Amino acid sequence: MDEYAFAVSAEQQRLLVLDRLHPGSTQYHVPAAFRVVGPFDVAAFVRALGAVVARHEALRTTFRPAPDGGYVQVVAAAAEPDVTVVRDVPPEGLDAVLAGQARRPFDLARGPLLRCTVVGTTDGGHAVLLVAHHIVCDGWSLAVLLADLGTAYADADGLAPLALQYPDYAAWQQERLAAGDYDDAVRYWRDRLRGAPDTLALPTDRPRPAVQSTAADSTRFVLDGARIAAVARAHRTTSFTVLLAAYAVFLRRVSGQRDLVVGVPVAGRDRADVQELVGMLANTLAVRVDAGGAPPFADLVGRLGAELAAARPYQDAPFGAVVDAVAPCRALSHDPLVQVAFAYDDDTEPRLELPGATVTRLDVPLDAAKFDLLLYVERAGGDLVARLIHRTDLFDPATVRRWADAFRVLLAGLLADPAAPVTAPPLLDAAEYDRVVGDWNRTAATASGLVPDLVAERAAARPDAVALVCGDTTLTYRELMGRADRIAERLRAAGVGPEVPVGVCLPRSADMALAALAVLRAGGAYLPLDPEQPTVRLRALLADARAHLVLTAPGRTDDLGVPTGVLAGDTLDVPDVAPGPGGAVGPDTLAYLLFTSGSTGTPKAVAVCHRALTNLTVAVRPGFGVTADDRVLQYVSFGFDVAVSDLFFAWTAGAALHVATEDERLGDALHDRLRTDRITYVFLPPAAGMSLPTRPLPDLRTVAVGGEPCPPEFVDRWATDGRRVIDAYGPSENTVYATTEVLRPGVPVRIGRPVPNVRAYLLDELLRPVPVGVVGEIYLAGDSLARGYAHRPGLTAERFVADPFGPPGTRMYRTGDLGRYDDSGALSYLGRSDTQVKVRGFRVELGEIETVLAGHPAVTAAAATVLGDPIDRRLAAYVVGDDVPSQAELRGWLAERLPGYLVPDAVVRLDALPTGRSGKLDRAALPAPPTGRPALAQPYAAPETPTQQRIAAIWRRVLGLAEVGVHDTFFDLGGNSVRLLAVLTALREDGLAADLGLVDLFRHPTVAALASRLDTATGTPPDADDAARRGRDRRARLAAARTAKGS
């Protein structure tokens, strides 16, 4: 068979690379299916298809590698059409047959790249399916192909030869690229996209995989085309621009990201001489949209229209060339520059006309996606039909269905009042609003009494039951209340009463727990303090809280700035102090103060009243299952709010409280205390729980976890043998706990639903509820809410705001935490809104890295942090384990499971992760990674040749290393894409890499490989010569044809 080789176009080159990344994918299949009713001559149809294939060289094209590493397109002089005939298919089975045929993969090297299936149905009808690969057929081409097919079916001689063919276009484009004709256009896009984010941080249902797949699903919905057109006319623009602006507003509202890049396909058919071609001329524009602020929707539409008009002269810049010029961070986990797109087809859909027959279009959904999320809108009759097409490795179909509903609600609001700010329209319809605000917050429960009275009632009912155990001290409830009341009497004599704070600055002991109860029994409010803190800090905290006095242990002699009482057992030596304000204790009286860290570095005292404390112990406690039969271990620091629940869960239930001494809070000692005391309930921070030996604890039936995100490994380890693991989320400002969830192995970790008498809202920046699956900030309201911050009215007003969803006069607390709902109403925690970690433009959740690292069989604990300046931020990971492999091996292991931007630049082995006194991981105490060449799998080999030595010198300078081996992989040495660009710039400045591209550095990641690439003299291969010569012939034909047409 005669065949000829030609140069490929830029668009084809890009699709060839994508085909190698995703071989066999259907993401670039272009299908069209039709139902044919009436007379249909199958033989004549096949002949007509043959005439179309003969007319268009693109339909006879295959692709082969060229010796220079590129490709050539090979056009066969003649080819028979590829037609499959399927007979006797029941009408109900037609969709399955068409879908199966549409999904058959193409082989770009063997072809053919256009297939036809003719299906005969048992009711006497027919269906026709045409499927082409996008590399030879775009959307415009499909319409041309169908029109030619109808013409040839009606008249065998109806098709005239074309003056130009697709290889002419490819040769002309390559000549323009070589001549620099696209340089201005590429510079326009490079400047327009400078500083744009590398990715759009849509809230995904699953972490982004290390290598993205093309598996897809879609949701179909109908839009009000008439209303869209009316708004477009009123603002002298197009429906396309109106819809693109609405889509940008939607993406901003869903992602929280204001700087957006949206892909927009263009036909590339402005010239008359290419409008009859079948071939891949379509291009993608990376349209940058500033969706920030609150402009009127009409203004955003106008601004976007102007942006599109300004870009029009530059729309033929090949997308691949734009990507190379912008040089975004590249990874196999995501597409460069554009992950979301908008396509709008306002023309009548491509039609097939067969004389004497009625032909109707059939839908053939494919299971492959080109983008993370694509909004595709086309006209169908008088309606606009939209599809949201999404990658299923990122999003659940239910999530995208909700997004479709939210987009329709948002669009209706934007169209109803284009003069209103884009932030004004809601995303929720009335039913969904009622569900997320009302139904999921029906938490009312009964909670009455005051905690000191409730403890006394338990003591009266069970006086001889064990109440408190610490070291050698064991107290019954009778003894507990006797001591507490004697101390309380002395405190009252010293002026303690309602609204009077009393500092409790005692080491971990029975006295520490007893003092808290005694202060409450005296009517005062206790303030837990860590006696190990510096005196100057303790003085500052006591002064800030305006404490009346402070209780300390015998032997403490430093001056804490307030009157000091010395507590030893039931003896309290306290000086005479002026009496407090007096009065009765009620639900709104202050119960305790608790200092938490502030964003400015200044601690603030959270003031909690008795109503909230009662709700915690009466309404919330039953959800944790603490009863009179339990033995509760008080593990956490006394100044951590969970200590409040430890003490009063136990004592209001009549359970035994076991206080772990300082020596019993780590490893084997903690495990021994859990085992020997037969503890049944304990709250453990994740780091503490993972540090324990794995020996059995048969009596332990409930482990509560919180304070920081719970890793799945914690659940896998502890949720066994019938034991419950409860994720307990809540800030101190909501009295310890706000939401809970019983965690199970293999099920995603969530923080769950609100506890009794607590309401949890997910709100956007304007305090409006967000839809299910959309990220919002967590706000809390209800009976557990703290009074505010002691003596900080301004800060209290800032963080405790009016609750627009609750009864009049109620407040809600802004947590600063991000979350999202699932379909059941359970919340997932997604990090902090005010401390988002970003690395090289990517939003990074450190917990994701830690979770995967902890899954390595040799790693028993893991942590991650961010190092470096804002320009060159780097990730570092820290691991604990006996047989931890090398940094290179661990980074390679992570690279198989995480996107490239989540793979740490350094992995450091530690004997143990640093923790604070609360047991939480102390990231600030993680050491800096060591400098110097890291331990790699291969031994050091010095550079030898001059080229190797020049490259190694550049690597050392960019990476900040003392030595670089010729076989060391750039990324194993701590390199990243930002540094790779620095290497490329340095190589070019050194005269080593005039024709080198970034992809070459990816392909040759060692000094030896890159030096070999640079030292190898390359000539022009014969196939390339042939393609170049034929390209010159094609360009001459193209010029002549354009002159004849006057274009």
pLDDT tens track for 711-738 = 888 999 999 989 999 999 999 999 999 9
Tell me, yes or no, whether 384 and 316 share the same domain. Answer: yes
Question: Residue 195 pLDDT > 90, yes or no?
Answer: no
Tell me, yes or no, whether 813 and 872 share the same domain. Answer: no
The predicted-structure confidence for 350-369, as pLDDT tens digits, reads as follows 789 999 899 999 988 777 88
Q: What is the structure's pLDDT at 134?
A: 96
Tell me whether strands 71-76 and 3-7 are parallel, antiparallel or unpaired: antiparallel
CA atoms of 833 and 674, how far apart (whole Å): 37
Question: Residue 346 pLDDT > 70, yes or no?
Answer: yes
Tell me, yes or no, whether 800 and 840 share the same domain. Answer: no
Q: What is the structure's pLDDT at 962?
A: 78
**Higher pLDDT residue, 977 or 783?**
783
Tell me, yes or no, whether 976 and 890 share the same domain. Answer: no
Give yes or no for a contact between 634 and 642, defined as CB atoms under 8 angstroms apart.
Answer: no
131: nearest Cα among 89, 101, 94: 101
Confidence of residue 1028 (pLDDT cuts 50, 70, 90): very low
CATH of residue 856's domain is 3.30.300.30
Whole-angstrom CA distances from 968 to 598, 891, 950, 963, 1010 are: 44, 14, 15, 10, 11
Confidence of residue 1045 (pLDDT cuts 50, 70, 90): very low
Q: What is the structure's pLDDT at 660?
A: 94
Confidence of residue 289 (pLDDT cuts 50, 70, 90): very high
The predicted-structure confidence for 731-789, as pLDDT tens digits, reads as follows 999 999 999 999 999 998 999 999 999 999 999 988 999 999 888 999 999 999 999 99
Confidence of residue 873 (pLDDT cuts 50, 70, 90): low
Q: Which tokens in the block code for residue 895?
A: 């690279």
The stretch 240-263 carries a mean pLDDT of 94
The predicted-structure confidence for 474-527, as pLDDT tens digits, reads as follows 999 999 999 999 999 999 999 999 999 999 999 999 999 999 999 999 999 999
934: nearest Cα among 910, 952, 908, 954: 908
Q: What is the structure's pLDDT at 901?
A: 61
Question: Residue 1 pLDDT > 70, yes or no?
Answer: no
Q: What are phi and psi of 180, to 5 degrees?
A: 80, 15
Question: Residue 22 pLDDT > 60, yes or no?
Answer: yes
Tell me, yes or no, whether 517 and 388 share the same domain. Answer: no
Q: What are phi and psi of 284, to 5 degrees?
A: -115, 130
- Boundary residue ending a domain (787, 821, 855): 821
Q: CB under 8 Å to 269, separation ≥6 — which residues?
A: 140, 275, 281
Confidence of residue 1029 (pLDDT cuts 50, 70, 90): very low
311: nearest Cα among 279, 335, 287: 287
What whole-number percentage of the chain has pLDDT above 70?
Answer: 90
Judged by average pLDDT, the poorest of 380-384, 498-502, 995-999, 1035-1039 is 1035-1039
Containing 575, the helix (H) or strand (E) segment is none
Q: Assess if residue 828 is contained within a domain.
A: no
Question: Residue 220 pLDDT > 90, yes or no?
Answer: yes
CA angle 902, 907, 909 (to 5 degrees): 145
Q: Assess if residue 903 is contained within a domain.
A: yes
Q: Which tokens in the block code for residue 1037?
A: 């034909």
> How many domains, in total, are found in the chain?
5
What single-letter amino acid sits at 846? Answer: L
Whole-angstrom CA distances from 474 to 514, 651, 659 are: 12, 14, 10
- Alpha-helical (H) ranges within 111-255 are 139-154, 166-179, 183-192, 225-234, 239-255
Domain coverage including residue 551:
451-821
Q: What is the structure's pLDDT at 840?
A: 47
CA atoms of 933 and 963, how far apart (whole Å): 6
Q: Give the Cβ contact number of residue 989 at 10 Å.
A: 10
Q: Assess if residue 855 is contained within a domain.
A: yes
CA angle 429, 433, 437 (to 5 degrees): 175
Q: What is the structure's pLDDT at 835?
A: 45
Q: Assess if residue 219 is contained within a domain.
A: yes
50 SS3 class: helix
DSSP state of 617: I
Q: Assess if residue 186 is contained within a domain.
A: no
Tell me, yes or no, whether 319 and 255 share the same domain. Answer: yes
Burial class (CB in 10 A: 0-12, 13-18, 19+), 139: middle
Report pTM: 0.75
6: nearest Cα among 71, 88, 54: 71
Q: What is the structure's pLDDT at 255?
A: 87
The stretch 229-236 carries a mean pLDDT of 96
What whole-number percentage of the chain has pLDDT above 90?
Answer: 61
Q: Which tokens in the block code for residue 13?
A: 């080159």
511 SS3 class: helix
Whole-angstrom CA distances from 393 to 211, 215, 369, 861 are: 10, 7, 11, 28
Q: Assess if residue 829 is contained within a domain.
A: no
CATH of residue 1000's domain is 1.10.1200.10
Cα 63 to chain centroid distance, Å, stands at: 38
Give yes or no for a contact between 827 and 821, defined as CB atoms under 8 angstroms apart.
Answer: yes
Residue with tokens 């901003």: 252
Question: Residue 831 pLDDT > 90, yes or no?
Answer: no
DSSP state of 579: -
Tell me, yes or no, whether 707 and 562 share the same domain. Answer: yes
Q: Give the Cβ contact number of residue 91 at 10 Å.
A: 12
Burial class (CB in 10 A: 0-12, 13-18, 19+), 584: exposed
CA atoms of 158 and 652, how far apart (whole Å): 92
Q: Assess if residue 609 is contained within a domain.
A: yes
CA atoms of 594 and 608, how far apart (whole Å): 8
761: nearest Cα among 672, 717, 827: 827
Tell me, yes or no, whether 552 and 412 share the same domain. Answer: no
Question: Residue 1039 pLDDT > 60, yes or no?
Answer: no
Q: Which tokens in the block code for residue 87?
A: 């007979």
Q: Which of 113-117, 289-293, 822-826 is predicted most confidently?
A: 113-117
317 SS3 class: coil
- Boundary residue ending a domain (821, 856, 885): 821
532: nearest Cα among 602, 650, 637, 404: 637
DSSP character string of 964-1015: --TT-BTTTTT--HHHHHHHHHHHHHTTS-TT--HHHHHH--BHHHHHHHHH
Tell me, yes or no, whether 886 and 743 share the same domain. Answer: no
Tell me, yes or no, whether 902 and 953 share the same domain. Answer: no
CA atoms of 65 and 71, how far apart (whole Å): 4
Q: Assess if residue 937 is contained within a domain.
A: no
CA atoms of 992 and 986, how far apart (whole Å): 9
CATH of residue 277's domain is 3.30.559.30
Question: Residue 136 pLDDT > 70, yes or no?
Answer: yes
Tell me whether strands 114-121 and 82-89 are parallel, antiparallel or unpaired: parallel
Judged by average pLDDT, the poorest of 405-419, 422-436, 447-461, 1030-1044 is 1030-1044
15 SS3 class: helix
Question: Residue 1000 pLDDT > 60, yes or no?
Answer: yes
Cα 589 to chain centroid distance, Å, stands at: 43
Q: Give the Cβ contact number of residue 442 at 10 Å.
A: 8
Tell me, yes or no, whether 759 and 725 share the same domain. Answer: yes
Whole-angstrom CA distances from 756 to 446, 620, 621, 784 are: 9, 6, 10, 9
Q: Output the average pLDDT for the chain.
A: 88
Q: What is the structure's pLDDT at 900?
A: 63
- Boundary residue ending a domain (925, 959, 993): 925
Q: Which tokens in the block code for residue 270?
A: 């402005």
**Buried b / exposed e along 195-218 (16+ C-beta atoms within 10 A):** eebbbbbbbbbebbbbebebbbbb
Tell me, yes or no, whether 422 and 506 share the same domain. Answer: no
Q: Give the Cβ contact number of residue 575 at 10 Å.
A: 10
Whole-angstrom CA distances from 301 to 235, 313, 558, 769, 824 are: 8, 20, 68, 25, 37
